[in-house]
Chains A and B, each alone.
Chain A
Amino acid sequence: AQTVTQSQPEMSVQEAETVTLSCTYDTSESDYYLFWYKQPPSRQMILVIRQEAYKQQNATENRFSVNFQKAAKSFSLKISDSQLGDAAMYFCGSGTYKYIFGTGTRLKVLA
């Protein structure tokens, strides 16, 4: 069965510090994609970063980067130089045609 697990319901980080959000997944597909989405209180779903499973190089987008460990089926998100605007729910997702998400991690950024 296809699953995505986010084991951290809530995380806190001090402004300007670095935080890592965990995500593990399971799939029988050989070719799949992985995503992190951010959901602020506005409820809008905003793409943060994406990774193709066939690429070994970890994706980066400005202050956001991933640590993709394919053998361990792990896809963690690192946020560097955290800003107050980073406070939101973060969802990890995986799929090929069928895309599923984890239960989310609420990130609080402390001033």
Chain B
Amino acid sequence: NAGVTQTPKFQVLKTGQSMTLQCAQDMNHNSMYWYRQDPGMGLRLIYYSASEGTTDKGEVPNGYNVSRLNKREFSLRLESAAPSQTSVYFCASRRQRQESNQPQHFGDGTRLSIL
């Protein structure tokens, strides 16, 4: 099925370990996003990539790095995981701004626990 695919769906890490969350979309979208969702905090933007080859910080970028590998893939890396990064992570994608009010399409999320 077409859409946004996130891997893994669940992961448990120990403090200090590194981890890369993968995201791929097959809708030929230009823009991609990483969010984290915490109780009472809503969805907070970590990083986004408006187009292939560009990345920009969102609201909460500290402790994360991203790579826009190609048009399809946008990965999120935790270099040294901390308990405060325990969260549900969502990847999203959308078409360019010029293509009308196209909404974001979201993946199913990755539940990450850091002990």
Task: Report which A residues bind B (CB closer than 8 A).
Answer: 6, 9, 31, 33, 35, 37, 43-45, 47, 50-52, 91, 93, 96-104
What residues of chain A lie closer than 8 Å to B45, measured between beta carbons?
98-101
Residues of A within 8 A of B50 (CB): 97-98
Which of B42, B48, B108 has the largest number of chain A CB atoms within 10 A? Answer: B42
Surface stretch bound by A, among B19-27, B73-81, B99-107: B99-107
Further contacts, 18 of them, CB under 8 A, given A98-B48, A102-B42 = A35-B104, A43-B109, A44-B108, A52-B100, A91-B43, A93-B43, A96-B97, A97-B48, A98-B50, A98-B56, A99-B45, A99-B104, A100-B44, A100-B45, A100-B58, A101-B42, A103-B41, A103-B42
Interface residues of B in 90-104 (CB under 8 A from A): 90, 92, 94, 97, 100-101, 103-104
With A98-B48, A99-B33, A100-B59 known to touch, is A44 a contact of B42 (CB < 8 Å)?
no
**B18-67 with Cβ < 8 A to chain A:** 31, 33, 35, 40-45, 48, 50, 56, 58-59
- For the complex, give the distance between the alpha carbons of A54 and B94 in Å: 20
Binding site for A on B (CB under 8 A): 31, 33, 35, 40-45, 48, 50, 56, 58-59, 88, 90, 92, 94, 97, 100-101, 103-104, 106, 108-109
- Is the Cβ of A47 less than 8 Å from the Cβ of B101? no
23 inter-chain pairs at a CB distance below 8 angstroms, sorted by A residue, are A31-B97, A37-B106, A43-B88, A43-B109, A44-B106, A44-B108, A45-B92, A47-B103, A50-B101, A97-B48, A98-B56, A99-B33, A99-B45, A99-B92, A99-B104, A100-B43, A100-B44, A101-B42, A102-B42, A103-B40, A103-B41, A103-B42, A104-B42
* Whole-angstrom CA separation of A33 from B103 in the bound complex: 9
Q: Please report the number of residue pairs spanning A and B whose Cβ atoms sit closer than 8 angstroms.
A: 60
> Least Cβ distance of A104 to chain B in Å?
5
CA distance A43 to B108 in the complex (A): 7
Among the listed A45, A51, A97, which residue makes an inter-chain contact with B90, where contact means beta carbons less than 8 Å apart? A45
**Chain A proximity of B82: nearest CB distance (Å):** 22
